[in-house]
Amino acid sequence: MGVRDRFDADYNRFFSDLTRLCRALGAGASAEDIAQDAILHAREHRYQLRDESKLEPWLRRIAARRTFEYLRRQKRRDTEEAVVAFLPTDPSLSIDVSAAITCLPERERVAVVLVYALGYEQEEAAQVMNVTRGTVATLLHRARRHLAERLVGYAQDRDRP
Amino acid sequence: MSAMSGHVSSDRLGDAARHGGVDFLRDTERRHVLGCDQCQRLYGGYRLTDRLLAAPWRDVKLPPAAVARPSRLGALAEFMSGLNARSVAPAVAAIGIVTLIGAALALPQLMPAPPVATDHSPIASATTSPSASGPAATRVSPSSSAQPSSSPGAQASGPGGSAPSSPSGPTPGATAGGSAGNETLAIGKTGGSPIAWSPDGAHLLLWGSGSPRQLQIRDASGRLNGTAAADAAAWVTSSTIAIATHSSGVSPSASASGPGHHGVGVSPGRSGGGETVSIVDVGGHPVATLPGSYALGGGVANGMIVGSGSGEFTIASQGGSGSFGWSFVLWNGSVSAVQDGLPIAFSQDSHRLAVLHPSSVSGGVVTGWLEVMVVPSLNTVASFTHLNLRVGSGSLGSSYGFDAAFSPDGRYLLASGTLVNLSNGSPLATGKGGWLPDGTLVTSSNAGLLRWQGTHSSVDSRFPGMGTVETARHGELIYFYGDSRPALLLDTDGSLTAISLAGVRSIGGLLVSPNGRAIAFGGRATDGSSITAVATLP
């Protein structure tokens, strides 16, 4: 089965996977549009894909890049409207704790979202981010440290030794 | 222990939090942590972080103040921290050289130029626009080698191929105010939220504000013709509109058992009653009332009535036996038997009806399998149960109806960016767009406007960058960007005009009248306020 046939045969699965990725990266209600645009772009430029077995990581990378472009455009607009963010939510924790994720530097936040929110292996996350697996591990390590330092004031008694 | 601070290092505390507690630490470290508030707090921060990262993730609405945006200074610092003097020096030197060369080249251009006669300008062949509404307007006709919208087949030579552009025609970089003629259009403010143009383009339906929703019927210049209270509406013909009105006095049971009841759903859409469907004229005066009552469906109320524009319309109702509770009737002078499903679009000749059988309805987006029926018999001509088609609302966002349209020949359906071949049900992601009268599908993408012939697309370089495309049934095409860039109008004669709207900063959504003579749009005024208005196209 050629790449083009795979696009058409697995369209629903690709669309669902990419929508989830775009939403997790912060695209909100535009996730479906970005995912669709990514599939369209990939289908148009499928000849650029040298190794067909890497179709899915390639698609994810395109979708992620488009999501970042979209987010950059959004950031330029000064908005007073509520912002939708993809965050971990624990009923026993305040929303401020969850919102700490948004304070992470972008690359660290992306690594955290890919690995913790979407359950990607570090290798898969590395493919999406176009970096090495070691870089993802470093980013996760730094992100955890940054979060811990930021959440010091929120730690409850049960979190203490 | 950190030699510098005397505290246990952050990494060691993190490892301890992850690996079962302070017992993981060496004796000296553990003794320190148990007696040091600072280390205990950081250890607590790690424990809390691990709890947080293990929690389920979902979309959360945050006030802007809760979202930390790195300051520009912070971003610069982050960038600079990744650099060192050794790597920066060549880059700085290169930038300096390029700047010097650029300045040398640009200097003559900055000198005042002598006036140039208009006849010798590159747009000497431009014709003056007949419109008197704006300042001296020009329109450019692309040469014969450019792509006229009426013969797109010539450009769609293959996948990924870019369309040929005329040497004298508009170029991507020049589109916004360059080679394309520019025109500023006067606007007529309407308020409300545009729903749909009448099939002949003479009138426009809009939602007013308030509850029950007030339907406004305006002419193409924006003048108010009539109003009616309505929860859903659609054009039946160019002079009649079907509206659903909440009938609080009608009890569902009484309605269901009453004589001549042909309603689909008998359960009330809201407490206390269902919806009565009537037909009104363009002045808002009642012409007829259909028997029965209907239940306004949750989530897709705006799509409850779908009109063909040539005398038929469907009324969908929730609470029936169909998938996800949806069923409908067709009206074409009389009411049909009840059918399962949710109609989303009539074909352009009104002989076919696309019906979705929803498996999920969320936020105005319906997902389900597709059935195509014959009008008016409602016999099935095709069922694509394998298809999981997603259909959202129309181009003006939450305002109205479904984003679905048959191709002029009825062989394809474009639904929210997915093209479905109705001969075999195969879907293709094309992006959102519209149909031109010759059957060419035009969609928007990051590369610009795409023209589709079958499953092959080519970029029309006259419409660069990510925008939104709207088409008129007559053949006009408008590409707009949602920011301060002017919209691009491609007329049926092939002329391209960059149109600005007086007093408008950006267009959020736009509807072109079927005859291609006017637009209704919503967006932001130059003072930042919301604006809804109509404008007559040149």
Pick from B513, B464, B471: nearest CA to B485? B464
pTM: 0.54
Q: How far apart are the first and last CA of chain B?
A: 77
CB pairs under 8 A between A and B: 179
> How many structural domains comprise chain A?
2
Nearest-Cα residue of chain B relative to residue A62: B446
Nearest-Cα residue of chain B relative to residue A91: B55
Test A86 with B58 for CB contact under 8 angstroms: yes
Task: Kindly report the nearest CA distance between residue B29 and chain A, in angstroms.
Answer: 13
Nearest-Cα residue of chain A relative to residue B10: A145
- Residue A30 sits at the vertex; the CA angle it makes with B74 and B149, to the nearest 5 degrees, is 115
Q: CA B311: distance to chain centroid?
A: 27
- Which of A83, A89, A148 is opposite residue B42, by nearest beta carbon? A148
Of A85, A101, A128, at which residue does a domain stop? A85
Test A33 with B59 for CB contact under 8 angstroms: no
Q: Within 10 Å of residue B449's Cβ, how many Cβ atoms?
A: 26
CA-to-CA distance for B207 and B240, rounded, in angstroms? 16
C-beta of residue B525 within 8 angstroms of C-beta of residue B531: yes
C-beta of residue B501 within 8 angstroms of C-beta of residue B100: no
Statement to judge: residues A25 and A78 lie in one domain:
yes
Statement to judge: residues A126 and A158 lie in one domain:
yes
Statement to judge: residues A94 and A131 lie in one domain:
yes
Test A159 with B55 for CB contact under 8 angstroms: no
Q: How far apart are the first and last CA of chain A?
A: 57
Statement to judge: residues A114 and A80 lie in one domain:
no
CATH number at residue A81: 1.10.1740
Q: What is the pLDDT of residue B233?
A: 87
Which residues of chain B neighbour A28 with C-beta distances below 8 Å? 59
Test B54 with A88 for CB contact under 8 angstroms: yes
Summarised one tens digit per residue, pLDDT across range A57-96 is: 889 999 998 988 888 887 655 454 556 678 888 777 777 7
* Dihedral sign computed on CA atoms, order B319, B367, B307, B195: positive
Statement to judge: residues A92 and A77 lie in one domain:
no
Statement to judge: residues A17 and A58 lie in one domain:
yes
pLDDT in single tens digits along all 538 residues of chain B: 665 567 888 888 888 888 777 778 888 888 888 888 888 888 888 988 888 888 888 777 766 555 544 433 334 333 333 334 444 455 555 666 665 665 555 544 444 333 333 333 322 233 333 333 333 333 333 333 333 333 333 333 333 333 333 333 333 333 433 456 788 787 888 777 788 889 999 999 887 765 556 888 998 888 888 888 887 888 999 999 999 887 654 333 333 333 333 333 333 333 345 788 899 999 989 888 888 888 766 555 566 889 998 899 999 887 665 556 788 899 988 889 888 899 999 999 999 999 999 887 766 678 889 999 999 999 999 999 888 888 877 655 334 578 899 999 999 999 988 899 998 888 888 888 899 998 999 998 877 899 998 778 888 989 988 888 999 988 999 999 878 888 999 988 888 889 888 888 888 888 899 988 899 988 888 887 778 889 988 8
Nearest-Cα residue of chain A relative to residue B417: A36
Which residues of chain B neighbour A33 with C-beta distances below 8 Å? 417, 432
Q: What is the pLDDT of residue B77?
A: 39
Q: What is the pLDDT of residue A158?
A: 64
- Cis, bond preceding B164 (omega within 30 deg of 0): no
DSSP state, residue B36? -
Which residues of chain B neighbour A150 with C-beta distances below 8 Å? 45
C-beta of residue B305 within 8 angstroms of C-beta of residue B403: no
Torsion-angle region of B333 (φ positive above 0: left; ψ -120 to 50: alpha; else: beta):
left
Of A41, A67, A85, at which residue does a domain stop? A85
Which residues of chain B neighbour A75 with C-beta distances below 8 Å? 69
Q: Which two tokens stand for residue A95?
A: 């929303």
ipTM over 0.90: no
Statement to judge: residues A74 and A95 lie in one domain:
no
Which residues make beta-bridge pairs with B162?
B459
Which residues of chain A neighbour B54 with C-beta distances below 8 Å? 88, 116
Statement to judge: residues A69 and A137 lie in one domain:
no
Task: Kindly report the nearest CA distance between residue A74 and chain B, in angstroms.
Answer: 12
Test A86 with B33 for CB contact under 8 angstroms: no
Whole-number Cα distances in Å, B137 to B221, B457, B498, B538: 20, 33, 10, 9
* Full strand arrangement of the beta sheet holding B518-525: B188-189, B530-536, B518-525, B504-512
Statement to judge: residues A68 and A99 lie in one domain:
no
Pick from B245, B203, B244: nearest CA to B221? B203
Which residues of chain B neighbour A100 with C-beta distances below 8 Å? 52
What is the three-class DSSP state of B371? strand
CA-to-CA distance for A57 and A49, rounded, in angstroms? 11
Q: What is the pLDDT of residue B375?
A: 92
Q: Which domain holds residue A160?
A: 87-161
Which residues of chain B neighbour A24 with C-beta distances below 8 Å? 57
CA-to-CA distance for B362 and B382, rounded, in angstroms? 26
- List, run by run, the mean pLDDT of 10-residue segments along chain A (161 residues): 67 85 84 86 81 84 89 64 73 80 88 90 88 93 92 73 70
Statement to judge: residues A131 and A158 lie in one domain:
yes
What is the residue whose two structure tokens read 């013709």? B225
- Which of B10, B48, B58 is opposite residue A97, by nearest beta carbon? B48
CATH number at residue A125: 1.10.10.10
Task: Kindly report the nearest CA distance between residue B155 and chain A, in angstroms.
Answer: 16
What is the residue whose two structure tokens read 């950031």? A75
**A77 burial level (CB within 10 Å; 0-12, 13-18, 19+):** exposed
Provide DSSP, B221-259.
Answer: TS-EEEEEE-SEEEESSSSEEEEEEEETT--HHHHHHST
Test B44 with A85 for CB contact under 8 angstroms: no
Contacts of B251 (CB under 8 A, 6+ apart): B273
Nearest-Cα residue of chain A relative to residue B69: A103
Test A88 with B430 for CB contact under 8 angstroms: no
C-beta of residue B248 within 8 angstroms of C-beta of residue B318: no
Q: Which two tokens stand for residue B52?
A: 């947080």
Instruction: Map B403-442 to HEC letters.
Output: CEEECCCCCEEEECCEEEECCCCCEEECCCEEECCCCCEE
CA-to-CA distance for B402 and B394, rounded, in angstroms? 5
Which residues of chain B neighbour A45 with C-beta distances below 8 Å? 160
Q: Which two tokens stand for residue B479?
A: 């590409």
DSSP state, residue B118? G
Of A25, A55, A85, at which residue does a domain stop? A85
Q: What is the pLDDT of residue B26?
A: 82
- Which of A66, A112, A152 is opposite residue B44, by nearest beta carbon? A152
Test B67 with A24 for CB contact under 8 angstroms: no
Q: What is the pLDDT of residue A63?
A: 92
- Which of A84, A147, A160 is opposite residue B49, by nearest beta carbon? A147
Statement to judge: residues A75 and A93 lie in one domain:
no
Test B59 with A32 for CB contact under 8 angstroms: no
Which residues make beta-bridge pairs with B190?
none
Statement to judge: residues A93 and A125 lie in one domain:
yes
Instruction: Map B457-512 to HEC letters.
Output: EEEEEEEECCCEEEECCCCCEEEECCCCCCEEEECCCCCEEEEEECCEEEEEEEEE
